[in-house]
Structure 1
Amino acid sequence: MADLSRRSLLRGMGGIGSAGALAAVAGCGVPPAYVEAADRAAGDRSDRDRKLVFANWPLYIDVDDHDAQRRPTLDAFRRRTGISVTYTEEINDNDEFFGKISPALMNHQPTGRDLIVISDWMCARFVRLGWVQEMDRAAQPHVTENLDPLLLSPHFDPGRRHSVPWQSGITGIAYNRKKLGREIRHTADLWKDDLRGRVSLLSGLDEAFAMLMQGDGVDITRWTADDFHRMTDRVRALVRKGHIRRFTGNDYIKDLDSGDVLAAQAYSGDVIQLQADNPDIEFVVPEEGAELWAESLMIPDLADHKRNAERLIDYYYRPEVAADLAAWVNYVCPVPAARDILASSKDKERAALAEDPLIFPDDAIRKRLAIARDITSKERAGFAKEWNGIVGL
């Protein structure tokens, strides 16, 4: 099990440095950095060059129990296809990685990578700039058949033509039920007097805003600027009252474990690890709803091995492979059919994962999940400035 959340590593606040400048440019007509669809493909070398380069986050793939350098699912892919994979764990922050590869992409040069995994809000930026290629779904029958319908059509990429989820998760509420002495079922339950000074929220704008809006009854698939400002007014007032203890990255884990915080805005993937160490911690998807998010696979412009990359993506959408990955990383699996594979396992711990709603949300939870429309490039600078002023960044 991964002991750090991919989501907890995100620090992309928007409007910062070169990434923020490019995002602002992207909102003004057709930006100088934009790449037309006809100019995105390279002469693909997949048939004669049986390899690909895959850039991912740390601790986001299965590893061998006896050799941390071996990754069983990738080894099986090589044996099945003859395609070798150079796998790098070089993505630690969305904006940082954007800054690393954006000079090549804006100057219409190859990045040296055939496949990358970034958060969907950052995927939106790549799609707007024309920096990723449309995938050939005819070459990806398992994606077509097995991709979770909840993840099929995010606002930034209807039909998932340019992106495919690697793993998914939920931003909800984690709380210590024993110490709090009551249930939390609604976002508004966080604002009750017995939690004054004992609540934390996430500091990242892209991670925090959706669930807070949903608590006000907003449809996050089509939220407006008025919805955003109403949410920030509420949060600002709570800060002034001393109700919110602080804004955090993944350090809410430490605060919950110590009892300094009794309830925290949290990521589902983190809570599985927390519960292993502290069974009093519970995770709840508020009745008003919570955000379903993903970190997704994309093929950058001028990738040399596009077809090989498409084959690897499709391979991870085989239910048995998705099950192996889910059993290791413990995030929401984007392949619901993997649940039956795990349930049939003779290993009791592996079989139990099939019943974990934080890996395979049940129908009641699924009805409350939504993918937020992304913050546009025109909105981002102003919204980030407002949010950062509240958070103290």
Structure 2
Amino acid sequence: MLVRSWLAVFCGLLLMGLIHGCENTDTPKKTVPALAKELVLYDWVDDMPRSVLDDFTREYGVKVTYLTFESQEEAVENILQGKVYDVAVLENPFVPSLIGAKRLAEIDFRNVPNFKNISANFRDLAIDPGNRYTVPYHYGTTGLLVRTDLIGNAVNSWTDLWDPRFAGQVALRLQPRELISITLLSLGYGLNSEIPDEVNTAVDRLIALKQSILWVEVDTPKAAAKLLSGEAALLLGWPLDYQEAHGANPAISYILPKEGAPLWSDNYVIPTSSPNSYTAELFINFLLRPEISARIVNEKNYPTANDAALPLVNPEIRNDPVIFPSPEQLRRAHFYLPLSPAGESLYKQAWDRFLAAPPVLPNGQ
């Protein structure tokens, strides 16, 4: 109920275009700990502009090492193992389990005054009441990139991934939750279903697609290259993929299927393994400056949770329905929810079964 209420308010505010401007402030606590010499950011490949990290280094004298993951499941496993990261990027559904495992540190918001710039629509969600452990970052949809010059405009459903006409031309990434979820949607089930029969039926269907899949990397340029070369006619992807591919070939379109698209949201978190929580908080505060958040949007084409940044976003990006979906599209979207411990076990077993099924995945994955 809480998520549905949040989404209704969120859509309404997007429709009305309400924006709350906030002045920038970076004043830390009076007792200032020493800054770390180096900070480790753990994030998606190609998610954070290098220029932003370099600007933080110039201002604070702190080197930022950018480490990347290929999936949220990989990130969660590494954080659970206690690997050292100072700031990590996590999607909403993966936050509660790490909080429960005491792997995320509470954030001292006296060092993150720019948190006031975050839209009320992204605060105090069920995944982290009171935002003790998370700072909302950006959000987006998962859709289908289509080479309309190769296969026309007939694609409008998740079920089209299984259309025999496109066998061998479907490009997917190895993203467990995402692939299981869109298969659930293709069957008319809920995005977050934990009903064993539904999840297992979805995995059976996903296994049936396996021989037709062209596996691509998470890295956007490499994934888009498969679409641009014509090796793939369909790519399950994100707005950044579309911007990369459409810029090179205007015949590539981005479709949010009629069953509704998954809607995801990322957060900045500080793992308890970090020895540099104060510097990490200053870094997050730096990222929440309106001009910095806007630069990330302008370079990476994902809508931000930072209201104060919106006036600084390029108009062509702010008005692009692929990047900022319409209220109608958002009303039909499905918001990812955390799985229960039983649900996490169910999905892991289902994914392991998918991986074990022939044909063998590339590189022994």
Shared fold by TM > 0.5? yes
**Quick one: which of 262, 282, 285 aligns to 1:314?**
285
1:220-265 superposed Cα distances (whole Å, 9 cap, x missing partner): 24543332112122233445xx6x3434434543332122322221
Partner of 1:49: 34
Q: In 2 relative to 1, CA 378–368 (structure 1 residues): closer, same or farther, beyond 3 Å?
A: same
1:17-55 superposed Cα distances (whole Å, 9 cap, x missing partner): xxxxxxxxxxxxxxxxxxxxxxxxxxx997131347242
1:85-113 superposed Cα distances (whole Å, 9 cap, x missing partner): 331012344666667665557xxxxx4x4
Partner of 1:13: none
- Superposed counterparts of 1:12-23, under 5 Å: none
TM-score by length of 1: 0.69
Q: What amino acid sits opposite 1:146 in the alignment?
A: I
User: Is the 2:183–2:205 contact (alpha carbons within 8 Å) kept by the matching residues of 1?
Assistant: no
Q: In 2 relative to 1, CA 268–301 (structure 1 residues): closer, same or farther, beyond 3 Å?
A: same
Q: What amino acid sits opposite 1:61 in the alignment?
A: M
User: Is the 2:57–2:63 contact (alpha carbons within 8 Å) kept by the matching residues of 1?
Assistant: no
Are 2:48 and 1:61 equivalent residues in the alignment?
yes
Shift in Å at residue 379 of structure 1? Answer: 2.8
Partner of 1:388: 355
**Quick one: which of 104, 111, 124 aligns to 1:132?**
104
Are 2:98 and 1:115 equivalent residues in the alignment?
no
User: Is the 1:269–1:358 contact (alpha carbons within 8 Å) kept by the matching residues of 2?
Assistant: no
CA distance in 2, matches of 1:370, 1:274: 25
| Number of residue equivalences | 323
Shift in Å at residue 175 of structure 1? Answer: 0.5
- Superposed counterparts of 1:1-393, under 5 Å: 47-51=32-36, 53-57=39-43, 59-64=46-51, 71-72=54-55, 74=56, 78=59, 83-93=60-70, 104=82, 111=84, 113-118=85-90, 123-137=95-109, 140-147=112-119, 149=121, 153=125, 156-158=127-129, 160-221=131-192, 223-239=194-210, 244-250=212-218, 252-301=223-272, 303-342=274-313, 350-375=314-339, 376=341, 377-390=344-357, 392-393=360-361
User: Is the 2:118–2:307 contact (alpha carbons within 8 Å) kept by the matching residues of 1?
Assistant: yes
Shift in Å at residue 277 of structure 1? Answer: 0.9
User: Is the 1:221–1:372 contact (alpha carbons within 8 Å) kept by the matching residues of 2?
Assistant: yes
Shift in Å at residue 336 of structure 1? Answer: 4.8
**5+ long unaligned stretches in structure 1:** 1-43, 106-110, 343-349
Q: Percent identity?
A: 20
User: Is the 1:174–1:281 contact (alpha carbons within 8 Å) kept by the matching residues of 2?
Assistant: yes
User: Is the 1:291–1:372 contact (alpha carbons within 8 Å) kept by the matching residues of 2?
Assistant: yes
CA distance in 1, matches of 2:273, 2:205: 46
Q: In 2 relative to 1, CA 62–182 (structure 1 residues): closer, same or farther, beyond 3 Å?
A: closer
Shift in Å at residue 186 of structure 1? Answer: 1.9
Q: Secondary structure at the match of 1:220?
A: coil
Q: What amino acid sits opposite 1:384 in the alignment?
A: W
TM-score by length of 2: 0.73
CA distance in 2, matches of 1:103, 1:318: 32
CA RMSD of the aligned region, Å?
A: 3.5
Q: Secondary structure at the match of 1:71?
A: helix
Shift in Å at residue 272 of structure 1? Answer: 1.0
CA distance in 1, matches of 2:178, 2:199: 14
Shift in Å at residue 75 of structure 1? Answer: 5.3
CA distance in 1, matches of 2:124, 2:32: 29
